[in-house]
Amino acid sequence: MNILTLCYLLASITFIIGLKMLSGPASARKGNLVAAAGMSVAVLGTIFLYRDDAGQRLGNYGWIFGGICIGGLIGTLAAKRVKMTAMPEMVSMFNGMGGLCAALIAIVEFDHFRRHAIIVMEGTTASGMLIPVGLLIIILLGLIIGSVSFSGSMIAWGKLNGKIKDRSFKGQHLLNLLVLLAIVAGAVYLLFCFDLSLMGTLFYLILGLALLYGVLFVLPIGGADMPVVISLLNSFTGVAAACGGFLYDNKVMLTGGILVGAAGTLLTVLMCRAMNRSLANVLIGSFGGGNTVAKSGEQEQGAIKEISISDTAVVMGYANRVLIVPGYGLAVAQAQHVCHELERLLEQRGVEVLYAIHPVAGRMPGHMNVLLAEADVPYEKLLEMEQANELFPQTDVVLVLGANDVVNPAAKTDPASPIYGMPVLEVEQAKTVIVNKRSMKPGYAGIDNALFSGAKTSMLFGDAKKVLQDLVTELKNS
């Protein structure tokens, strides 16, 4: 076993350990650093220790380290400046870059093997398979999956930051399916094509169709469904990277790709279950698309009751148990730290304070967990949806901070609702529900919420951070 193989083995182990540590907020930061250290070992080992069959080093160190320095600088500045509310779109963009890299590897390797085949065929009458089928399958998988991941992630990035709106048209699902079938048919034909010039044309046609499918796949998807799409695209990138590992017989690249692909796939399945959707709908591009916005007049919005800051402080201060439901409004206001301060003040008064976390709250899986971990909220206080739903009937006060669709009872009571069947936090079962929102505008799914006019519900309007600061002041002065 040579030193480079040991570097790859060490890196693979750190990837697995780092992924395990990411399962808990307390160890997630260290897990990220452990995996990053392993990747550094793998990259530097490849640069300085790799030898080809002729014993030659990589060379081109200026280009290699120039790219590393430029990319590292851009990544560092972007990560330091990004707001927590913009984290999902950054994740989507970075994920798309991974897919693009996998597609570029496929393009470079296909061109390399095609040129080699041309040289071999010149001056001979040989015929038959020009590129080994197994190798060509891996190249095509990397090209197709990486391209779909890249273009889809770019559309997801645009939708998350508001630059791209949901777009759908009649027959779009059929078009998506036809494009996908054309990609598969072209790939199968390419595997057994004996014409080098035709192979090149087919290859780049497949590339174009894969990029188009990525756009068509994500474009019609509703905003409330984006966490699942981001997770799915992440798994695509992992699989595409694993294909690159097969191409180069690179064990660490293969291990990293498999881990990302498997984790992304498992998370996608869990997200689909949480949204009560099928993975098949995601794959044909109909997930959450179409009729996600309720038409005006279809759902009557009853009278609402408002509550003041002082009354809210009294109700919460004399409660035995308070459950806080964080939503995107909390993230937008960057109110996680003052929310933790409110939690501490209530606990000093003998109030039990817990957090109810919906699996798809926010704009990406784990969004709320990351926000609250940033504010040093103990992980033990974060309840999963099933745990929280069991406690709501024994809860005195539920404070909903900017959440909407994940607490909408229409998911259980209205078969005509686009979110019908989606598991939600059953906050209406608590004795008192206080909902903080800026206005009565519908949530990300674009539908009204009957909870807001419920008999137990009171509305507390205003920016989440300002409202929580006022609550903290009121409790301190009382």
Together in a domain, 332 and 266? no
pLDDT for 96 equals: 92
Together in a domain, 180 and 95? yes
CB atoms within 10 A of CB 414: 17
Together in a domain, 231 and 336? no
Together in a domain, 275 and 316? no
Together in a domain, 269 and 326? no
Together in a domain, 251 and 371? no
Range of the domain at 449: 309-477
Together in a domain, 334 and 257? no
Total domains present in the chain: 2
pLDDT for 9 equals: 92
Together in a domain, 126 and 166? yes
CA 146-150-153 angle, to 5 degrees, is 130
Is residue 19 within 8 Å of residue 35, measured between CB atoms?
yes
pLDDT in tens, 313-345: 999 999 999 999 998 888 888 889 999 999 999
pLDDT in tens, 252-294: 999 999 999 998 888 888 777 766 667 666 555 444 444 444 4
In a domain, 60, yes or no: no
Together in a domain, 99 and 220? yes
pTM, two decimal places: 0.77
pLDDT in tens, 18-35: 988 887 767 888 999 999
Q: Last residue of some domain: 223, 248, 283?
A: 283
CB atoms within 10 A of CB 170: 7
In a domain, 65, yes or no: no
In a domain, 46, yes or no: no
Smallest CA-to-CA distance from 7 within 54, 47, 59 is with 47
Q: How sure is the predictor about 127, in pLDDT bands with cuts at 50, 70 and 90? A: very low
Smallest CA-to-CA distance from 227 within 32, 89, 422, 427 is with 89
Together in a domain, 265 and 327? no
Strands of 230-375, DSSP E: 321-326, 352-357
* Residues involved in catalysis: 405
Together in a domain, 277 and 242? yes
